[in-house]
Amino acid sequence: MRASARLCSMLMFPTGKNFGTVLAQPLTGFLCEYGFDGGWPSVFYVFGEFTSLLSSASHVRLKVLFLHNAQNVVCLNSSL
C-alpha cells in the first residue's frame, strides 16, 4: 500500500466515524417517533439491514481483490 493511500485511509476513518454518528442520531430519533413496528424496534431493523448490506458489499469487494491478486501471483509464478 502506498504511503499516500495509507495516510488517506488513516484520516478518513475517524472522519467517517464522526460523520456516521451525526447522521445516525437524528435518524434514530426519527425512527423512534415515526418508525414501523412500534417505533424503537425499527431502529434495530434499519441499522441491522444497513450493516448486513455493507458487510456483504465489502465481502464481495475483498473477494474480487483477492482473486485479482491471486491471478497476478499465478502469472508471476508461471513466468519463472
Between 56 and 61, residue with greater pLDDT: 56
Domain total in the chain: 1
C-alpha distance from residue 3 to each of 9, 10, 69 (Å): 10, 10, 20
Is the pTM value of this prediction over 0.85?
no
| Domain assignment of residue 43, given as a range | 3-78
Of 49, 12, 42, the closest CA to residue 27 belongs to: 42
Cβ count near 30 (within 10 Å): 12
- 3-state SS class at 36: coil
Region of poorest pLDDT, from 7-16, 26-35, 37-46, 47-56: 7-16
